Amino acid sequence: MKIFVINGPSLNLLGIREPDVYGREDYAALLRFIREAAAEAGVSVETFQSNHEGTLVDAIHSAYGRFDAIVINPAAYTHTSVAILDALRAVALPAVEVHLTDISAREPFRRVSYAGMACERTIAGRGFEGYREAIRYLAEKYNETEPKGGTER
Ligand code: DQA
C-alpha cells in the first residue's frame, strides 16, 4: 500500500514557526517521523509540501492511480480552500486530515475545515503523533498486501 502525505503552507518552517504553538522540531524531523511511522505500519510513503494552493491541488490530482490513500495537513488552506476539498473529492481516495494543533480549540476561523469534509477522519492536537495515527488507521483499513485471516507459510 502506498500513502501520499501532503503538507501545506508554512509547515516547511516547523521549528522556526511559532514554536510555542507548533513545537521545536523541524520539518526534517517530521519527515523522519512519517517515514518511521510508515515502516512500522508496513506501508510505503511519499511526502510532499507546498506553500501554494494550486500546487497542492496538482499534488492531490497526481495521487490518482499512483497512491492508495492520502494523509493531508492543508495547514491554513484547511479553512479556506474549496479547491482542495474538490480535488480530494475528485480523486476519491481514502483520506485522513491531520493537524498538529487542536484546531477546534483555537481561533474561531480555524473551526471550519473544508478539506475535512472529504476525509474519513480528522486527527488534531496530537502533534507529530497525529501522522502516525493517520497512517496506522489507513494501513489497518486498506492495506491488503498482508493476507487477511490465517496465513500459510
Ligand atoms: C495546522 C492548523 C492550521 O490552522 C494552521 O493554519 C496551520 C497548521 C496544524 O497543523 O495545526 O498552518 O494545520
H or E stretch including 137? helix 129-142
Looking at the 3D structure of the chain, how many domains does it have? 1
pLDDT tops 50 at residue 150: no
The rounded distance, in Å, linking the Cα atoms of 122 and 58 is 22
Pick the catalytic residue: 99, 114, 131, 137? 99
pLDDT at 148: 47
147 domain-assigned: no
Which CATH number is 38's domain given? 3.40.50.9100
* Residue located nearest, by CA, to atom 2 of ligand 1: 75
Span 43-93, pLDDT tens digits: 999 999 999 999 999 999 999 999 999 999 999 999 999 999 999 999 999
Does residue 56 lie in a domain region? yes
| pTM of the predicted model as reported, rounded to 2 decimal places | 0.94
Looking from the CA of residue 102, the nearest atom of ligand 1 is 11
Cα separation, 60 vs 50, in Å, equals: 12
Residue 148 lies in a domain: no
